[in-house]
Structure 1
């Protein structure tokens, strides 16, 4: 049984929106990403319940789940970079404050 064209279009559109959202340098709100992931999950679950089990469906679902894992790993990696940068900024501020305190004495 071939995959429905609309499913492929809808999944592709969600993936594109997700990529655009993550590429936006001003992206600060995680609710939009969570909503896209929920839509992604809903589409795949609905189709997997309606469809008969076959190799094409299994391959498509595996591909989509692989994409989701890759995106999740990328977000986690970016989160770690930001956390490290915040830690360095905090250390620099403390160092500057300590220097300023000693300089005034």
Structure 2
């Protein structure tokens, strides 16, 4: 990026979350946020909304004294991505950045 803040529509953030989870199967919260280029404080509400709508699921795992939150896609989330989000992106493609790549 060239010094200016990049804005990504909420719908593309949702699609990126589901696609990353499909690609990796399941991820811990830190990895998911990092791979999607999100800020946990800013975007935690999106993860909670996706979970409450049944598009992703989370599971807390105890690892010693730590509690790790793992996320994975649901069948409903994958179907939502295929039937709603993919056609949306076909109609309204993401803006390309200066290097010609789609912004993530």
TM-score, L = length of structure 1: 0.29
Q: Greater Rg, structure 1 or structure 2?
A: 1
* Higher-strand-fraction structure: 2
TM-score of the superposition, structure 2-length normalised? 0.29
